[in-house]
Chain A
Amino acid sequence: QVQLVESGGGMVQPGRSLRLSCAASGFTFTSYGMHWVRQAPGKGLEWVAVISNDGSHKYYADSVKGRFTISRDNSKNTVFLEMNSLRPEDTALFYCARDRGAVVGAIRLEFWGQGALVTVAS
């Protein structure tokens, strides 16, 4: 079965960096696009970033563009989110999610991990 396990969350000061990882298993990783979606405490879902199956296409929400970088290592079935210049408003539970396809012109989220909590505070 599909498993997505996030790691790397924690508390960090404003302006600092953090890298999240998502280890995937139970499916052919190289066939699917992968996303990060976040949820601030008590709030709704916010899409953050996506990377296509082969890593050739990367797209970001306007709120994180220029600060966050999504990447993947297909040899290790892992997707990453490098977060720089963190702000208090970035505090959220960050979910890794798999798309239904490779991600070329469509976003159809399917399976989700359990999330990694990121807290940005001084």
Chain B
Amino acid sequence: NFMLIQPHSVSESPGKTVTISCTRNSGSIASSFVQWFQQRPGSAPTNLIYEDSQRPSGVPDRFSGSIDRSSNSASLTISGLKTEDEADYYCQSYATNAQVQGVFGGGTKLTVL
């Protein structure tokens, strides 16, 4: 199966915009949907983005997702950063060979300082 590569950590100041990348190391990023999850310390993950760029109801429009075929990557962009956005962020996709298997990126720790 392929891997999803995320930066280990990113940091930015409150009010700014940050982008977290998720690069697929083999096969096309467009061949299977990408989801994004936020996990605050001690809590279960919550879904921020599904099907590459769709936002579930209740998720603020400060969060947006996209894919870029040229870099074979997905991105999560958070604008107007708040201290409460400090968390771990995971991308997720799936492999569809002989079977369907979920794949997570390694996670990115966002620090809002």
Contacts and interface: CB of A to CB of B under 8 A. Distances in A.
Interface of A: 35, 37, 44-47, 50, 57, 59-62, 95, 100, 103, 105-115
B44 A95 contact: yes
Interface of B: 1, 32-33, 35, 37, 39, 44-47, 50-51, 56, 88, 90, 92-94, 96, 99-107
Task: Identify which of B35, B88, B101 gathers the most chain A CB atoms within 10 Å of its CB.
Answer: B101
A100 B102 contact: no
Contacts of B39: 45
B99 A44 contact: no
B102 A50 contact: yes
A62 B100 CA distance: 11
Given A95-B44, A106-B94, 15 more contacts: A37-B102, A47-B102, A47-B103, A59-B100, A59-B101, A60-B101, A62-B1, A100-B50, A103-B100, A107-B92, A107-B93, A108-B35, A108-B50, A109-B102, A111-B47
